[in-house]
Amino acid sequence: MNTEQPMEDRLWDYIDGLSSPTERTAVETLIAANQEWRRKYRELLDVHQLLAGSELSDPSMRFTKNVMEEIARYHVAPATTTYVNKNIIRSIGAFFLSMIAGLLIYCFATIKWPSASSSSSSNLISSYSNSLEKNIPLEKFNWEKLFSSSYVTAFMLIAVVLGLVLLDMYLQRKKQQVS
């Protein structure tokens, strides 16, 4: 099989007139002396004559139009602007908002709120705001206890990852608009 390929190449070059004069004489002697070379030469010569005798048909002038009309018969789905399911985006947003709500609930749960001692609603609001200023000074609030929780750490990690995803989507959209 390995010797057959160079033989075919040499015979095609000989038939097409591409071989050098020394190669031409070498192939002629091989054809005259070797039965296999002679058989392969006749086979390739027949193929060459068949190819030379046939005319290539040119496509009609309406070929492109015919092809395009045939394609238009089929309903081709229009290109979508995005390949991301909107329900996935909504669920990510809902998860993100629930994480923010959970963080706020956690923050409010860790604060020691003053209890109201009066029964009237107007006195309750004024006493509540006065006692809130007195009982919860923000400079003395233990922020380390609030942010050392694993819940807050997980929230911050998710918020950073989602922020990076949104930044990537924004930059990709800007890049597509520029080009």
Assigned token pair, 26? 């070498």
Give the model's confidence band at 1: pLDDT under 50 very low, under 70 low, under 90 confident, else very high: very low
Among 110, 88, 103, 87, residue whose Cα is nearest residue 158: 103
pTM above 0.85, yes or no: no
pLDDT in tens, 154-179: 877 888 888 788 888 878 888 887 77
Q: How many whole angstroms separate alpha carbon 161 and alpha carbon 98?
A: 16
CB within 8 Å of 9: residues ≥ 6 apart: none
Q: How many whole angstroms separate alpha carbon 109 and alpha carbon 112?
A: 8
> What pLDDT does 86 receive?
75
Of the CA atoms within 13 Å of residue 67, those in its CB half-sphere come to 5
